[in-house]
Amino acid sequence: MDQGRATNVATPGGGAVGVQIQHSRRVLPDFLQSVNLKYVKLGYHYLISNLFTLCFIPLIFVTLIEVSQMDLEDLRQLWLHLQYNLVSIVICSAFLVFGLTVYITTRPRPVYLVDFSCYRPPDHLKAPFDRFMEHSRLTGDFDDSSLEFQRKILERSGLGEETYVPEAMHFIPPRPSMAAAREEAEQVMYGALDNLFLNTNVKPKDIGILVVNCSLFNPTPSLSAMIVNKYKLRGNIRSFNLGGMGCSAGVIALDLAKDLLQVHRNTYAVVVSTENITQNWYFGNKKSMLIPNCLFRVGGSAVLLSNKSADRRRAKYRLLHIVRTHRGADDKAFRCVYQEQDGAGKTGVSLSKDLMAIAGGALKTNITTLGPLVLPISEQLLFFATLVMKKLFRADVKPYIPDFKLAFDHFCIHAGGRAVIDELEKNLQLLPVHVEASRMSLHRFGNTSSSSIWYELAYTEAKGRIRKSNRIWQIAFGSGFKCNSAVWEALRNVQPSPNGPWEDCIDKYPVKIVT
């Protein structure tokens, strides 16, 4: 059989070789054309981005030539002219000094990210697929159809075998009590904060602002009060507890902390992002409400922000932009992620079939606002040109999708699920390396809700990929429906902090995700 294949390949002018030659003749020009277009666009980008500099260079040469041709008498006349106009010069200088003073005192204060920490649960909380399915079967709450549905979701989810579920879910039957939920919250929040304070040498008494976000678990006293009590934070601390705001609440908490740091000088802000699974596990058989059981896992993060100029030297990043989009005015968007009771009275979070379409619409609105803030002028001109042709001239042209790879070096896309990452990779025309952090975080830790973007940033740090001046785009989606973005600039070549979530396993990643 092998000999027969060899004879067929060797047949002159026909067989496999003939087909291969014809295919090569067809593919080679297409390949060369795509390469040429790539470099043409790259050249256009560099030309437009440096257009001002290119126009300024001839002006500099002309000025130098003119100055070199001036003799001593010309210079003396210029000095006398300036002396006779001393009053004008003083007035102009006064206006310049006044303007600079107003600018310096009113400009937004820079917000620095000193460091952040992600919680890594203990190994005994791991939930491999087989154990997860066996546990679901033994609880007796799920029928055969629901068990099969959960098995398929797990296989296609992009999650690995080492994600974590809370202690209460490891018992048979499960024990979802208020005490167990508090214990989960304490383990996650305190674990992340202990590591953060250890790595930064910041004393809890130095914290002036505390923002905690957790969507589904809001006890009394609040989670923020639990942190104040645990670490004995000062009595005049500005503390906030955000609830019910979904997986994008981490960026909302950042936005609130940023605004507070503009008002309160010379202080630190801590943002704690987490979710609580213990009391929010669904024990019914409604398919749309079973999906969160398969995707959401234990996790949390703590972020230390500062507005102190002295912290710039040791900070990892500077916050550049936060852009928030809320589509809650639309009924479909409002109900696409909805906590409710099923027909049997069992509470869970229902995910609509329209979720991906709604997320796409929210993303489009968000990047329309974000684009002018971050995209190079070359991309903005192309986008504007296609918009003019479509709106004014009614031309049948496709909307131009800006190349965000020219604006950002790293992407932290909320690891909400495999479909979310696939959709953004396709719509934003990203490369596999750009979504690697999101896929690997989903595989290793699952959907950790609002903290997932920090596990992704920790992954990128652990890989040693973040260099000085790199820009990072964190983008998150959440109920409401919301799409929120945060943009950071690296202030140095960033190394991972001690006791990071990837410290013991980064060498194993990336792994191949089975399709």
Domain ranges of the chain: 20-57, 70-106, 112-508
Helix (H) or strand (E) holding 349: strand 347-351
C-alpha 207/C-alpha 502 separation (Å) is 27
Q: Which fold has domain 112-508?
A: Peroxisomal Thiolase; Chain A, domain 1 (3.40.47)
Predicted TM-score of the model (pTM): 0.82
**Residue burial 18-54, b: 16+ Cβ < 10 Å; e: rest:** eeeeeeeeeeeeeeeeeeeeeeeeeeebeebeeeeee
Is-contact 316 114, C-beta < 8 A? yes
Number of alpha helices (DSSP H) and beta strands (DSSP E) in the chain = 17, 11
C-alpha 435/C-alpha 453 separation (Å) is 12
User: 455 φ, ψ to 5°?
Assistant: -65, -35
| CA contacts within 13 A on the Cβ side of 238 | 16
One pLDDT digit (tens) per residue for the chain, 515 residues = 343 433 333 333 444 334 333 444 444 344 334 434 444 444 545 555 555 565 666 767 666 666 666 666 666 666 666 666 667 777 777 888 877 777 666 667 899 999 999 999 999 999 999 999 999 999 888 999 999 999 999 999 999 999 999 999 999 999 999 999 999 999 999 999 999 999 999 999 999 999 999 999 999 999 999 999 999 999 999 999 999 999 999 999 999 999 999 999 999 999 999 999 999 999 999 999 999 999 999 999 999 999 999 999 999 999 999 999 999 999 999 999 999 999 999 999 999 999 999 999 999 899 888 988 898 887 878 777 777 777 776 666 676 678 899 999 999 999 999 999 999 999 899 999 999 999 999 999 999 999 999 999 999 999 999 999 999 999 999 998 999 999 999 999 999 999 999 999 999 999 988 76
368 Cβ contact list (under 8 Å, min separation 6): none
Residue whose C-alpha is closest to residue 499's, from 114, 115, 119, 113: 119
| CA contacts within 13 A on the Cβ side of 87 | 1
Q: Tell which phi-psi region holds residue 345, choosing left (phi > 0), alpha (psi between -120 and 50) or beta.
A: left
- Residues known to be catalytic: 247, 326, 410, 414, 443, 447
Is-contact 204 233, C-beta < 8 A? yes
Residue whose C-alpha is closest to residue 447's, from 479, 478, 422, 415: 415
Is-contact 470 410, C-beta < 8 A? yes
C-alpha 271/C-alpha 257 separation (Å) is 7
- Looking at residue 348, its amino acid is G
